[in-house]
Structure 1
């Protein structure tokens, strides 16, 4: 996890707008999961890596939200953590029962949050 957080931090510093970078990462993770869902028979073998990527991303968000230095209001930070915990539970559910239709929730959450970060409707 430490390497992922460090890499995320370095990339985020290189961008002008961290919210846009976070949205891009969420959209990339959602697109990867969507591609697996759409091409299930051919791409099923990519599922574990895509879920790991998404889990790492959400772990970074939750870690940031719980940091005392985080400037966001407490309520927003709590919502990020709660949503992250839900994503982790959904990930476990997908791993326990890997079916293409079980990816929809993770895909939608990532897309919705990205839209919120970009201040637009999904």
Structure 2
């Protein structure tokens, strides 16, 4: 919901700058060697950040990648796929409710869903 509110409330330029700052902060923290422990609280916080960023700008992966970076390849792919399937559906619903997605986009979504 917060991501949909950002889309409605902020001009596109401000939203882009905000997300760029968050991504750069994440890169800086990661390069500095910080690896968050995979605890319920860190996964919930990363999930909230991912939902906000994913809904507002379609790049919700970085927060989850930071938390789940210790997972092995198959487990990481399966976990991320399930997370983003659910998250994408929630984002689409929130953006539709906020009137930020039109019928044309919903038709395209329906056509691409099987893929």
TM-score (norm 2): 0.37
TM-score, length of structure 1 as denominator length: 0.35
Task: Say which one has the larger Rg.
Answer: 2
Which structure is richer in relative contact order (CA contacts within 8 A, separation 6 or more)? 1
